[in-house]
């Protein structure tokens, strides 16, 4: 099972991944987490480029699109292997991030054609103002105008992809966590009504 958490910057993905992992493990499942961009060479280069003042220009976005796709491709064999060992793979972001942050969409789809489609995408939907407040502002993407477009792109994707579930990320971390558990529980035959 390949579960992905998506959302604009600061939506609470890493907080919720930790809580979800702990809860699934307490229910007897083996869980492995992964993060995009990775901490491998390409991922490190991406993190550096994200702080450049020209990171949102058309040319740099295409460059980043290619780098994100390459960084992601390295992870695909690892995900397959973990799944074959019956591990639940929870990922912080996926190719859907490229579809909403980079463009043009058809080209992004093409260069990500070998990326694995997640079984479930939990879209943490947060108000853009809250996102900007939560972020440190080190990356060029962390501004209200850019993230307003990204949030809309996510909602459009959620509408056209059945593997998406929208979670209201404006609530406190415990409420967000219980909403996520209720969404995930049926996949593993865990009692939904036992979640507080």
Ligand X SMILES: Nc1ncnc2c1ncn2[C@@H]1O[C@H](COP(=O)(O)OP(=O)(O)OP(=O)(O)O)[C@@H](O)[C@H]1O
Ligand Y SMILES: Cc1cn([C@H]2C[C@H](O)[C@@H](COP(=O)(O)O)O2)c(=O)[nH]c1=O
Binding site, annotated residues for ATP: 7-14
CB crowding 32-41: b at 16 or more within 10 Å, else e: bbbebbbeee
| 3 state SS of 26 | helix
Q: Which CB atom, from 176 or from 185, has the smaller least distance to ligand Y?
A: 176
By CB under 6 A, the residues from 2 to 41 that bind ligand Y are 9, 36-37
**Per-state percent for the chain, helix, strand, coil, to nearest 5:** 55, 15, 30
Cα gap 23→37, rounded to integer Å: 25
Q: Is 125 in the site for ligand Y (CB under 6 A)?
A: no
- Give the length of the chain: 196
Beta carbon of residue 176, minimum distance to ligand X (angstroms, whole number): 5
Q: Residue numbers of the site for ligand X (CB under 6 A)?
A: 7, 9-15, 134-135, 172-173, 176
Which of 2, 23, 101, 164 is the binder for ligand Y (CB under 6 A)? 101
Which of 2, 23, 68, 154 is the binder for ligand Y (CB under 6 A)? 68
Cβ neighbourhood burial of 153 (10 Å; 0-12, 13-18, 19+): middle
Q: Which CB atom, from 102 or from 177, has the smaller least distance to ligand Y?
A: 102
Q: Is 141 in the site for ligand Y (CB under 6 A)?
A: yes
What residues line the site for ligand Y (CB under 6 A)? 9, 36-37, 50, 68, 93, 97-98, 101-102, 139, 141
């Amino acid at each position: 099972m390949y579960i992905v958490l998506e959302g604009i910057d600061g939506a609470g993905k890493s907080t919720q991944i930790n809580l979800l992992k702990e809860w699934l493990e307490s229910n007897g499942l083996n869980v492995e987490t992964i993060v995009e961009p990775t901490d491998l060479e390409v991922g490190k280069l991406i993190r550096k480029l994200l702080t450049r003042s020209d990171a949102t220009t058309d040319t740099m976005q295409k460059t980043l699109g290619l780098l994100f796709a390459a960084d992601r491709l390295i992870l695909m064999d690892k995900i397959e292997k973990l799944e074959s060992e019956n591990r639940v793979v929870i990922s912080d972001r996926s190719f859907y991030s490229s579809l909403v942050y980079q463009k043009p969409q058809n080209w992004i789809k093409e260069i990500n054609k070998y990326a694995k489609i997640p079984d479930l995408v939990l879209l943490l939907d947060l108000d853009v103002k809250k996102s900007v407040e939560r972020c440190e502002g080190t990356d060029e993407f962390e501004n209200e105008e850019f993230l307003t477009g990204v949030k809309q792109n996510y909602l459009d994707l959620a509408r056209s992809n059945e593997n998406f579930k929208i979670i209201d990320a404006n609530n406190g971390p415990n409420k967000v966590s219980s909403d996520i558990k209720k969404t995930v529980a049926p996949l593993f035959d865990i009692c939904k009504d036992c979640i507080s």
